[in-house]
Structure 1
Amino acid sequence: MKNLLLIILLLSSTALSAQTLLSGQVTDRKGHALPGANVLLKGTYDGATTDTLGRFSFKTFEKDSATLLVSYVGYEPFDQKLILRGQPQTFTVKLEESASELNTVVITAGSFEASDEKRMTMLKPLDIVTTAGAGADITAVMQLLPGAQRVGEQNGLFVRGGSGQEAKVVIDGMIVQNPFFSSLPDVQQRGRFNPFMFKGTAFSTGGYSAQYGQALSSVLLLSTSDKASDNGLGVSLNLASAGLNYDVANEKQSLSVVGYYGNLRPLFALVKQNVEWTREPEFTGSSLTYRLKTSKTGLLKTYGMYSDSRLGMVTQAPLDNETRTGIRLHNRNAFATSTFTDSWAEGKWQLNSGFSYSHNSDETTFDGSNFGGSDERIQGRAVLTRLLSKNNTFLFGTEIHRINLTTAYNNQRYALHDNYAAAFAEAEIYVTRKLAGRVGLRTEYSSAINRSNLAPRLSFAYKTGEYSQVSLAAGQFYQNPDYRYLYINSGLNFERADHLILNYQRIKNKRTFRIEGFYKNYAQLVREFTGQPFDANPYRFPWGQTNNGGNGYAQGFDVFWRDQKLIKNFDYWITYSYVDTERLFQQFEQSATPTFVSNHNASLITKKWFEKITTSANFTYSYTSGRPYYNPNRIGEPNDGFLTDRTPPVHNLSFSASKIMMIKNNFTVLYLTVDNILNTRNVFTYRYTPDGKTRYAVGPQSYRSFFVGMQIMLSKKAVVTKNDI
């Protein structure tokens, strides 16, 4: 019995001597104790929980190598390799705060995000369709944001002193060759795409990512939705068009089909027109969207659309003082894009790839002569992203384009072919939760001019408080010259713009304040030398000698304020933009502010949802200061008086309303819009007859207009809420 007790005591002593004591303290980076943190050895039950001072202590029988794990809610997990030899070990563990919406900086300089993936959500599809005065047009709403302006007689996005050609529209990474419907002189057209196709937008007013190029001023990035509703058949009716839509979806795939026909003659019979139409716009079209979930992480999205439109009007003959002549347009447009995304290695690697094709033809006749043209673009793109620890990422990719262009002028036909290729790499680095940087590099080659470029991009952001931050962005941006110049001179170089942007932003309790200053330097702009007086016709075909001797600058600041908290179900935002800019380019003989620029732009948007009557009521007021216009009678005055005249300011107050109701158990949305409620006689610009004696105003198609319509869901499965209007 004594021998048995002795053996038990010896074994117990040996076991106790084999234990290892592990102790220490767990804190945050500032040294503050973290009570209740879990500390344990991986693969065992050995561990402890920290006390009120963040201290822990426990023993283990494990030997040799082991891994110490420390976790705490709201912080990144910690692990450390250990060698256990029976000797006590002490640790001081400092945990990193995990990424969240409030504690992680987001690079914002030059960019308005409206995505489901980032916290700085400012505009969603609902915001776009409920903005009065925008007609549910994505680009029209972007023109109400700081940094952009409305140019009522031209298509395009005009950003910080840039022309409409200096901004690109991108869908899922693919450049859209013709984002707007084709137009006639001094008649603005809307964008081609439905806002509800997209889960979000990112509108860059400068300093954008190295992933994109061929835009001196900005890019509008549109991301299509990953899944569709299962609403079945729907019918839309309004004063301008009628359409059918069908949506069906299950867990793996979805299909959306749209068909429509429109004719503006009934609407124009009710709304007085300032345009002498010889054929009111008539259009037809269709679109198809298909999504397939190929695996747990893979998604294939395919979108295709086709439209056909005809219109005709009478306009001033550019070479005759007395004559007004007819112009007609027949446009056909097709666009198709397919993208595939996937990820692997637990999401650490991500692939975004795509292919698209577009074709556009304009059969334009002017005074019996053909001025039409066509364009075709084929493009492919692939981007590979590596997600690293602590939110750091690295991506690289490439894209290729094949572009074919033709145009006719004075019965002479021109053709141009361009093989464009680009490669890019970009890293987003989080030094701390408060300090982040994005460094990118892009290189491009264009066969049309047989030249290449190298463009660096830099962005930094620092979090100044729990809800605020500052951002800085800089970079170089290149773009091919206007293809009209390349028809006659393929020896031109890329045009260039250098951006510098400083931004401050604060988001708290559904309130956003943002102010941003910018400077933009233009270089290598195309100049044209004709030896003739300046020709103010924006649709002229260039014929003089050209070079890249042009330059310019744009500088200013923007302010944005949005409040969704003040009143229940009430949302408003205020924007103001100031820009000072001059250029020496095109036919300019001296530096001047271009005719498409206004120095001051402001807007006030209000939206109110009335729950009891299920109705949304919205107002928009916009102000645009006077723009320069060319007065040929100023020649000979001091400084030649070149582009020193200004148009009157443009004021516009608009209203829109939408109501949800039931018609024979079918969900229905009724909507009404009134543009320019005060019937202000706005003037966008002035033009002169060739002899310079007669000035005439260019304004909107109609001063005050209205529009009514309805959408009916015929399927019992369909559900409409206030988020759909």
Structure 2
Amino acid sequence: MKLLYFLSAYLLLEMTASAQITLSGRITDAKGHALPGANVFLRGTYDGANTDSTGTFRFTTARKDTATLLVSYIGYDSYVKRINTNTTAPFTIQLTESANELNTVVITAGSFEASDEKRMTMLKPMDIVTTAGANADITAAMNLLPGTQRVGEQTGLFVRGGSGEEAKVVIDGMIVQNPYFSSMPDVQSRGRFQPFMFKGTSFSTGGYSAQYGQALSSVLLLNTTDKTQTEGVSLSLNLANAGISYDHATEKSSISATGYYGNLKPLFALVHQTVDWTHVPEFAGSSLTYRLQPSKTGLLKFYGMYSDSNLGMNFIDPSNEAGKTALQQHNRNFFTTSTYTDSWADGRWLLHSGLSYSYDTDATTYSGVDFGRSSEQLQGRVVLTRLLPSNNSILFGTEAHAITLKNAVQGINYWLHDNYGALFVESQTYLGRNLAVQLGLRAEYSSVINRFNLAPRVSMAYKTGLYSQISLAYGQFYQTPDYRYLYLNTSLDFERADHLILNYQIIKNKRTFRVETFYKNYAQLVREFTGQPGMPTQYDANPYRFPWGRTDNSGNGYAQGFDVFWRDQKTVKGLDYWITYSYVDTKRLFQQFRIAATPTFISNHNVSLITKRYFEKISTNLALTYTLSSGRPYYNPNRIDEGDKGFLADRTPVVNNLSFSASHITRIKKNLVVLYASVDNILDTRNVYTYRYTSDNKTRYAVGPQSYRSFFVGGMIMLSKKAKVNVNEL
């Protein structure tokens, strides 16, 4: 739910407090001629830049003491050197022309490449917190990128025809069982995690690496920071909550702690709600992050969080004669993850290992009847990478999960346990100076269905020019069926999707253009048969129903389309804007569908326009975001006489939204202060996400946003005179 806005206070505070080191220099050939477009970065981080037309580069990093600097350029041998990042002197590096024609396909962050990590669409944490309409929420910001679509009344990422359950969130390689706050009827929930926890936010819209699985559509990869960038105590206060945080760093370790309490009564008193709240959301929580560098190359990271929330509402329920159903919910969530990374043999061997545990419970009642649920997950992961000459590499990995789920449905308790394991191997090879190939193979096993699968992955990239490339990806992806089906039938098989993606991208002078086309084939999807034997399935449009019919894996479908992305950070000084357009055509025969049809969460056309500008003289950042989505299918029971022709044939109106945000930076007695404000749906558009009908089919309900037009204001202060603002990041 977007109401959990309280995270933005802490996020914006960290946004403005920066203690990074700036590295700069110039890259030339042996004759001293500038090499524009050379890729310069620190190994094992997202920190880096491309050289400009004079061969000059400049970027910031949180790495201190020593790091490995890498420089690559088409037709030249790569440069690798261990450096001291504390130096302030610019680097002068000369590259030697390659004699063996081997060189890398080089593309900056935010692009596509055979290397999965660099082929994804990427946003910095600053992009997330300064984008209007994103509300400092990672997944909300991802919904403004090509390939996604906005489904206002449901939680999750909906990517290229996929449902919210088909996209997974991964932190430091570990799948997060409950990445969003608990879902509520017709209210979209926020993600649980803060953008500035992460040094990299990578979003794959498909065709992703063999290192990851259990996602038919996409993965959102989040990599936590290696060290805190702030120091001292900070306080925040806004219309939703009050919070306190503490950060402290030493030479070998750092610790970050936060605590908050929130109650939405002040906000709801000013912003009219379409939801009938019986208990206005109230919440509290805390988090702790600890990092330790036990050796020059080793790094141990631990993160733990706990949250507790209470709410009550009467939500519109057409199946109820009264028209509404009372809901009470008390959620408790605990999540912890720890990772250890290391390298040896001068960085040629890399180790990444992790252990994670999560527990989530919802004490939920509908009209006093128990619908509580809980989940518990323990997982471990080990990945070993061998870096080979000429930037080639090969990695091996394994992961294991123990998952326990419980669900009460009208007082009946269901229970399920799954032991899931996977092995994977992946290689990256450069065939000539312009061609890169990545081959991967993933094997998975699930004990709850006693099934095994083998999923090949391949991706290629070819550099067509100094700043451009094309790429091709193909892969098979499997996912264990929704556990709601497995409560009643454990003989189901994995669901499957085959991805084929073709991409072209050019990055030059802080401008990016990308166009991508895709095709997905779905197979082995779960179908539910709710009719009498020999009779057609009876469709139930209630999205909260518990599946009770006979199920099998006879479902199938497809999704095809294309995306266009344009970003310009150069034309107007200080202005950053991007435009996206996504088209998807998809049909599925799954769930209770009688025929193959476009699912209710699909809008064929999605457009986003995002603009941001920082005014240095007044220390203020302004942002505007406009989004438009075409109508989505909804079930009209009055067209049942038309048979298959009338099934999901109706469409909702177009949904559009204009949002604004602003933040101002100042100091009070030398302490850093940030004031911020935002307005959502400036035009007060009466958007409709879907329609539902009463049981007699006579009355139609419109499902829309929690509030049509809303605003939010707040501020924070960092009690440290050393807090700095990195203007280049705004």
TM range (shorter): 0.7 to 0.9
Structure 1 122/407 Cα, relative in aligned 2: closer, same or farther at 3 Å?
Answer: closer
Tell me the equivalent position of 2:701: 696
Give the alignment of 1:240-259 within 5 angstroms: 240-259=240-259
Give the equivalent residue in structure 2 for 1:565. Answer: 570
In structure 2, what residue type is equivalent to 1:668?
V
Give the aligned partner of residue 514 of structure 1: 514
In structure 2, what is the equivalent of residue 339 of structure 1? Answer: 339
User: Which is worse superposed, 685-694 or 475-484?
Assistant: 685-694
2:112 maps to 108
Counterpart code for 1:311 = L
| Residue type at the aligned position of 2:157 | L
Matched residue SS, 1:636: helix
Paired letter, 2:508: K
Find out whether 1:548 has 2:553 as its counterpart. Answer: yes
Deviation, 1:640, is 3.8
2:254 counterpart letter in structure 1: S
State the partner residue of 1:671: 676
Separation (CA, whole Å) in 1 of partners of 2:115 and 2:238: 35
Task: Show the counterpart of 2:600.
Answer: 595
Q: Cα distance 1:144–1:128, how it changes in 2: closer, same or farther (>3 A)?
A: same
Residues 103 and 648 from structure 1, CA distance in 2 versus in 1: closer, same or farther, beyond 3 angstroms? closer
Partner of 1:585: 590
Deviations 1:315-372 (A, max 9, x none): 2345333342211111000000000000000000000000000000000010110001
Aligned to 2:16: none
- C-alpha contact 1:294 1:300 (8 A) present in aligned 2: yes
Distance 1:124 1:414 in 2: 41
Check if 1:608 corresponds to 2:613: yes
Matched residue of 1:432: which SS?
A: coil
CA contact (8 A) 1:75 1:96 kept: no
Q: Hey, what does 2:201 align to over in structure 1?
A: 201
Aligned to 2:274: 274
Query: How far has the Cα of 1:109 moved from its partner?
Result: 6.2
Query: Secondary structure at 1:76's aligned position in 2?
Result: strand
Cα 1:112–1:606, aligned 2, differ >3 Å: closer, same or farther?
A: farther
2:684 partner letter: N
- What is the correspondence of 1:184-333 to structure 2 with a 5 Å cutoff? 184-333=184-333
Q: Take 1:174 and 1:289, find their aligned partners in 2: how far apart are those partners?
A: 16
Shift of 1:602: 0.4
Tell whether the 8 Å contact from 1:126 to 1:723 is kept in structure 2 after alignment: no
Q: What is the CA-CA distance between 1:718 and the residue it aligns to?
A: 2.0
Cα distance in 1 for partners of 2:689, 2:116 equals 27
Alignment-mate amino acid for residue 253 of structure 1: S
**Alpha-carbon distance change, 122 to 97 in structure 1, aligned in 2, over 3 angstroms:** farther
CA distance in 2, matches of 1:724, 1:414: 49
Once the two structures are TM-superposed, the CA of residue 711 in structure 1 deviates from its matched residue by 1.6
Residue of structure 2 in register with 1:418 after alignment: 418
Contact between 1:631 and 1:643, CA under 8 Å: does it hold in 2?
yes
Tell me the equivalent position of 2:46.
none
2:617 & 2:358 partners in 1: Cα distance?
Answer: 46
Map of 1:75 onto structure 2:
76
Aligned-residue sequence identity (percent) comes to: 69
- Indicate conservation of the 8 Å contact 1:529/1:587, yes or no: yes
Determine the structure 1 residue equivalent to 2:392: 392
The alignment partner of 1:471 has SS state of strand
Letter in 2 for 1:626: G
Cα deviation digits, residues 296-318 of structure 1 (max 9, x gap)? 00000000000001111102345
What is the rounded CA distance, in whole Å, between the counterparts of 1:97 and 1:575 in structure 2? Answer: 37
Distance 2:269 2:103 in 1: 58
Residue of structure 2 in register with 1:647 after alignment: 652
Change (3 A) 1:645 1:656: same
What letter is aligned with 1:158? F
Task: Check whether the contact 1:76–1:97 (CA below 8 A) recurs between aligned residues.
Answer: no
Structure 1 unaligned regions, length at least 5:
1-32, 38-71, 79-92
Relative to the length of structure 1, the TM-score reads 0.86
Q: Quote the residue 2:719 is aligned against.
A: 714
Shift of 1:691: 1.5
Cα distance in 1 for partners of 2:108, 2:712 equals 45
Residue pair 1:424, 1:440 contacting (<8 A) in 2 also: yes
CA distance in 1, matches of 2:494, 2:671: 56
| Distance of 2:316 and 2:358 partners within structure 1 | 32
Residues 650, 36 of structure 1: alpha-carbon distance in 2 compared, 3 angstrom cutoff: closer
Specify the alignment match of 1:11 in structure 2.
Answer: none
Deviations 1:5-57 (A, max 9, x none): xxxxxxxxxxxxxxxxxxxxxxxxxxxx97799xxxxxxxxxxxxxxxxxxxx
Report what 1:182 is aligned to. 182
Deviations 1:609-665 (A, max 9, x none): 101100000000000110000000011116340000000010100000011001222
Describe the shift of the 1:650–1:107 C-alpha distance in structure 2 as closer, same or farther (beyond 3 A): closer
Give the length in aligned residue pairs: 641
Give the aligned partner of residue 58 of structure 1.
none
Aligned AA (1:483):
Y
Query: What is the letter of the counterpart of residue 249 of structure 2?
Result: A
Matches for 1:629-640 after TM superposition, within 5 Å? 629-637=634-642, 639-640=644-645
- Tell me the TM-score normalized by structure 2: 0.85
- Residue segments in structure 2 that go unaligned for 5+ positions in a row: 1-28, 34-72, 80-96, 532-536
> Following the alignment from structure 1 to structure 2, what is the Cα–Cα distance between the partners of residues 387 and 458?
19
3-state SS of paired residue (1:634): helix
Letter paired with 1:108: F
Residues 379 and 160 of structure 1, relative CA distance in 2, 3 Å threshold: same
Would the aligned equivalents of 2:329 and 2:363 in 1 still touch at CA under 8 Å? yes
Name 1:149's counterpart in structure 2: 149
Cα separation, 2, equivalents of 1:540 and 1:232: 49
CA distance in 1, matches of 2:148, 2:121: 19
Cα 1:365–1:104 change in 2 (3 A) is: closer
User: Could you report, residue by residue, the CA deviation over 1:62-84 in whole angstroms, capped at 9, with x for unpaired residues?
Assistant: xxxxxxxxxx9983389xxxxxx
Structure 1 CA distance for aligned equivalents of residues 275 and 595 of structure 2? 34
What is the distance in 2 between the residues matched to 1:73 and 1:579? 36
- Residues in 2 aligned to 1:145 and 1:570: alpha-carbon distance in whole angstroms: 18
* Bigger Rg over Cα: 1
- State yes or no: 1:533 paired with 2:513: no
Measured in 1, the distance between the counterparts of 2:527 and 2:318 equals 22
| Structure 2 equivalent of residue 481 of structure 1 | 481
- Answer whether contact 1:438 1:460 (CA < 8 A) is retained: yes
- Please give the secondary structure, in 2, of the residue aligned with 1:244: strand
